[in-house]
Chain A
Amino acid sequence: MIEVQHVTKRYGPTVAVDDVSFRVEPGQILGFLGPNGAGKTTTMRVLTGYMPPTDGKAIVAGFDVFEEPVEAKRQTGYLPEAPPLYPDMTVREYLTFVARINGISAADRPASVDVAMGRTSVADVADRHCGKLSKGYRQRVGLAQAILHNPSVLILDEPTAGLDPKQIIETRKLIKELAGDHTIILSTHILPEVSQTCERVVIINKGRVVAEDTPDNLTGRLHGSATIHLQLDTAGMDPAAALKQVPGVTGVSLGEPGSDGRAVEVHSAEGADVRREVAAAVVAEGWGLLEMRRARLSLEEIFLQLTTTEEEEAEVEEAPARSVADADSVESGDSGDSGVQAGGAGDPADRADPAAP
């Protein structure tokens, strides 16, 4: 449905996108992930026909974006990074104009505008001027504009940027609803968003694709062995010997005992689930089992592993790691508050500190 073939985009000597290829199957949601300046927006602009690639080609809904631009654009709904609103128009006037330039007949315009406003919950500001809207409304009017002509492909550049937590959840829900009939690419740098909404992830860094897979495979693939994190109250005893006796356990590393018990990491071979046996062993020893969770690499860690080169590692470890962690904690905190968190997102590993080794 969407196919990007060896797309390269240069601005003068700068290479913004370098030989990027990927495809999105019909009805799928692809998450396009990368740090700022990685080439996400440029790739999306190539896909929407806003700018031609220096090399390679993009095919949307069967049309080459540069051979048959008008047909390809008719099939595409696009929400740019900054919602393209005319400040002097009311929301209804604006959407009616968008319907008109997308070839929706005068008779059908009011209905399609109403449907789009309903889906993005902007009907209550229908008669307000776009220039006077809050950031959240602007973003959603932008989204209404993108889905208005019922395109088969949706390209959304950071669709949840600037929304409050409740709106973020509604927007993600809307995007998931749209996925059946529409093929969707969404870019974001909010990592839990990807694990919550997307079926596939493309991670792009410095203009190159560094990984492409499902969010689950990505998190699974990159850790060589399985690790269980325990918090034990062992009353001063050393748990290592007892735990090593458990079948399947390949190693035990101990943390310092603290007020909340002792942190213990139990390693096992990839694929082996030793949690039951470990729990039984702990109980048999009469220790207090305060916490047990599977330590998986969070998307943050994968993201950092993939987008950090060795020489950068030292500095990146400190600053950006923290900022990603902050963004995440805001994210998960917010979603948690409203209590509508999707199952997969509740994975505690998502909240793990990515700066930790």
Chain B
Amino acid sequence: MRNIVAIADKELRSYFVSPIAYVVIGLFALLFGWFFVASLSVMVRFSMQAGMFGGGPQSININEFMLRPMLANTAIVLLFFLPFLTARAYAEEKKSGTIELLLTSPLSDLEIILGKFLGVLALFVLMLAVTALHMVILFWYGEPELGPMLSGYLGLLLMGASFISVGLLVSSATRNQIVAGVVTFAVLLLFWVLTWLADSLGPTTGAILSYLSLLEHFDDFSKGVIDTKHVAYYVSFIAFGLFLTAKAVDTERWRG
């Protein structure tokens, strides 16, 4: 455990000693702010229109009008951002030779992988933490429901962690960061749009594809439903990704 924390700490720091963390968190905050303002203005317009017909401004569901679209947009932004964060995890260590330090130190492969996973996850949590500011504004001026908000964040966290596990796997298989980033992005996008063919491929195949889609499982979270089925999906997705990463690292070892 101590070793996992040591690696995670090193990973998280490495984002902050380079411009990566500042660029990623800064731009993510900017985009999220933009979504916030955009959905706020939509909500205000709806509220005004509703008020004109119904006599006086109506209170409308903030969760429905602001939170859900913002969470959905955030999920898309993560699809673009997280592959860049994970791309370097293994690829850079292999290119600079520092992987030789890690693999010849008294650490197990699993400790290194979990450490790296938690390091990227920590940066991702910091990204999400920035958005909490906007949520405070919502609570200040409106009355959103806390439950769906928290379940939405849990959904984002699980989905982001799944992205990270795919990213680690791809990064462990190459020494080129650009290749790692592009492949991760393509794989995630594919998982995202799996449902597009679900309808035309017959009921069984369609059901399987929908089940595998990363997006499909996120929907309920943003509605405020925490379904064990979805949690199990994400957790097993993450575990499988990390398991394959361990295999990839081991294979690399044998091939030399």
A77 and chain B: residue at smallest CB distance: B104
B253 and A50 within 8 A (CB):
yes
The stretch among A85-93, A196-204, A208-216 that forms the contact with chain B is A85-93
How many angstroms from the CA of A319 to the CA of B255 in the assembled complex?
33
Say whether, besides A51-B253, A88-B14, A100 and B6 are in contact (CB < 8 Å).
Answer: yes
CB-CB < 8 A to A88: which residues of B?
14, 17-18
The stretch among A68-76, A171-179, A341-349 that forms the contact with chain B is A68-76
CB-CB < 8 A to B98: which residues of A?
84-86
How many angstroms from the CA of A80 to the CA of B102 in the assembled complex?
12
How many angstroms from the CA of A40 to the CA of B103 in the assembled complex?
18
Q: Count how many chain A residues have C-beta atoms less than 8 Å from C-beta atoms of the other chain.
A: 33
In the complex, A103 has a CB within 8 A of chain B: yes
Mask: chain B, 72-106; 1 = CB below 8 Å from A; 0 = not: 00000000000000000000000011111111111
CB-CB < 8 A to B27: which residues of A?
none
Cβ-defined partner of A49 (8 Å) among B7, B96, B101, B104? B104
CB-CB < 8 A to B14: which residues of A?
86, 88-89
Question: Measured between C-beta atoms, what is the minimum distance from A202 to chain B in Å?
Answer: 21
B103 and A50 within 8 A (CB):
yes
B3 and chain A: residue at smallest CB distance: A101
A84 and B97 within 8 A (CB):
yes
Interface residues of A in 84-114 (CB under 8 A from B): 84-89, 97-98, 100-103
CB-CB < 8 A to B102: which residues of A?
101
Cβ-defined partner of B107 (8 Å) among A52, A70, A71, A145? A70
CB-CB < 8 A to B108: which residues of A?
69-70
In the complex, B247 has a CB within 8 A of chain A: no
CB-CB < 8 A to B6: which residues of A?
97, 100-101
CB-CB < 8 A to B10: which residues of A?
86, 97
Question: Measured between C-beta atoms, what is the minimum distance from B21 to chain A in Å?
Answer: 11
How many angstroms from the CA of A200 to the CA of B98 in the assembled complex?
30
Q: Count how many chain B residues have C-beta atoms less than 8 Å from C-beta atoms of the other chain.
A: 25
Cβ-defined partner of B104 (8 Å) among A9, A50, A87? A50
CB-CB < 8 A to A89: which residues of B?
14, 17
In the complex, A160 has a CB within 8 A of chain B: no
A102 and B254 within 8 A (CB):
no
In the complex, B203 has a CB within 8 A of chain A: no
In the complex, B54 has a CB within 8 A of chain A: no
In the complex, A32 has a CB within 8 A of chain B: no
In the complex, A183 has a CB within 8 A of chain B: no
B254 and A52 within 8 A (CB):
yes
A-B contact pairs, 22 of them (CB 8 A): A11-B255, A50-B253, A51-B253, A52-B253, A52-B254, A70-B106, A70-B108, A76-B104, A80-B97, A80-B100, A80-B104, A84-B97, A86-B10, A86-B96, A88-B14, A88-B17, A89-B17, A97-B10, A101-B102, A101-B105, A103-B2, A103-B3
Q: Which 6 A-B pairs have the closest CB atoms?
A: A84-B101, A74-B106, A48-B104, A88-B17, A73-B106, A84-B98
14 more CB-based (< 8 A) A-B contacts, given A82-B97, A89-B14: A9-B256, A11-B255, A42-B256, A49-B103, A49-B104, A71-B106, A73-B104, A84-B99, A86-B96, A98-B101, A101-B107, A102-B106, A103-B2, A103-B106
